[in-house]
Amino acid sequence: MAKRKTKYVCQECGYETPKWMGKCPACHQWNTLVEEVVASTTGGRHVFQTDKTSHAKKPTKITSIETEDEPRVATDMPELNRVLGGGIVQGSLVLIGGDPGIGKSTLLLQVSAQLANKKLPVLYISGEESTRQTKLRADRLSIKSDDLYVLSETNLVEVVNQIESINPKFVVIDSIQTIYREEVTSAPGSVSQVRECTSELMRVAKSKGIPIFIVGHVTKEGSIAGPRLLEHMVDAVLYFEGERHHTFRILRGVKNRFGSTNEMGIFEMKEQGLVEVSNPSEIFLEERSQGAAGSTIVASMEGSRPVLVEIQALISPTTFGNPRRMATGLDHNRVPLLMAVLEKRVGLLLQNQDAYVKVAGGVKLDEPAIDLAVAISVASSFRDQPSKPDDVVVGEVGLTGEIRRVARIEQRVQEAAKLGFKRVIIPNKNLDGWTPPSSIEVVGVDTVQDALKVTLGGN
């Protein structure tokens, strides 16, 4: 009897080694190597031979290739259509990840029902729930359609057979970590199983032109579990984010071969399911405290959509030798950088102050245009002097204290005017080349000190 061959595969990056090691030499993670059995192969060495009569595809000049717009299927959720780039592309493979209980299955079940109501056969395959459990969730969401098929199966061969039998127009796999292939000896959810199952589903999607959505589990760090290769194989990667104690959910695209990767869709979790938020700026600002020190409104761009959010700062004297710098919803390295600019260029004594900065509403901002709003919030809290409640601030702050220009200033100002704000402070370099709305005053500033004089007054 032949000796059984084994290998050790890293569950984080897919690195393979013939012996066990405590630390993966590729991704430097500890205790991620898992033993897997190597599938035995019969026969000797395989020799590749050329066949002059073969009908293999030949390279084509790129100038001679005819192109056409990818046909898309629009759902009844404009927020989802925006994130996907205009709708669901036929034959696409989309991966959606998120924390447990965030609403991934609810979102996909609602989308499945909407497509089924358009007389498009939909196959919803759940490897984590029985058909009765899925039906209970469908009853809660008031979903009733004869074109929505539900299957509880984890064997990939049976899944593919049912797809070929029903020939649906849309398929949901919930989740990819529960699907297994019998030829692979490792457990479901391992690197080998996830890679092989995703590869087979991609072949089915491309060959039959069926869009397939697969749900992926996430690690404790928030990234999708399994090898990074999983995100490279699919056409689009969506993250469903949100705080467990908040009702708002954010659908963000981090990869999209058929559209922009900066789009964001906002939903609200209610008793009847996920409901779209058409105007997120009003939602983020509805609980704002009027006249509170340390609060500033910023116009941020999320893809092609301007969103107004509130940035809050709390500055208090420290009781320790090293003051604390904490940030929620933005890069934590940006807070001490901006505080250093305020201390050096403006003269605020912040070296003995604890700083806590937060983006209200649970949204995450990562663009440099929020720098000026963070700086004004910190200065407002330090001086205990509130800024004007009708002001909106936009601008990037340089290390020398200058305010640098930002992109899409016209859309930001129009959003502020639409919500009733009276004044917007922007970089002086952004004043030329466009006409602001008549209902809002636009003030250009060159330095942080000029911005503080305009918003807070004084020196």
DSSP string covering 13-31, please? T--EESS--SB-TTT--BS
Contacts of 89 by beta carbon, 8 Å cutoff, 6+ apart = 70, 71, 72, 211, 235, 258
Task: Share the mean pLDDT of the chain.
Answer: 87
Residue recorded with tokens 């004297």: 317
Question: What is residue 272's predicted lDDT score, i.e. its pLDDT?
Answer: 84
Q: Which of 242, 218, 227 has its CA nearest to residue 197? A: 227
Tell me: is residue 104 an annotated ligand-binding position: yes
* 436 annotated as ligand-binding: no
Is residue 303 scored above 80 in pLDDT? no
105 is in an annotated binding site: yes
221 contact partners, CB below 8 Å, separation of at least 6: none
The answer on whether 253 is annotated among ligand-binding residues is: no
130 pLDDT higher than 80? yes
Six token digits for residue 359 = 């983006």
Q: Does the annotation list 44 as a binding residue?
A: no
DSSP 447: B
Say whether 386 counts as a known binding-site residue.
Answer: no
Question: Is 358 annotated for ligand binding?
Answer: no
The confidence band for 294, taking pLDDT boundaries of 50, 70 and 90, is very high
Q: Is 189 annotated as a binding residue?
A: no
Out of 155-169, 183-197, 223-237, the most confident range is 155-169
Band of residue 46 on the pLDDT scale cut at 50, 70, 90: very low
Answer positive or negative: Cα dihedral of 199, 203, 204, 209: positive
Q: For 233-243, what is each residue's pLDDT tens digit?
A: 899 999 998 76
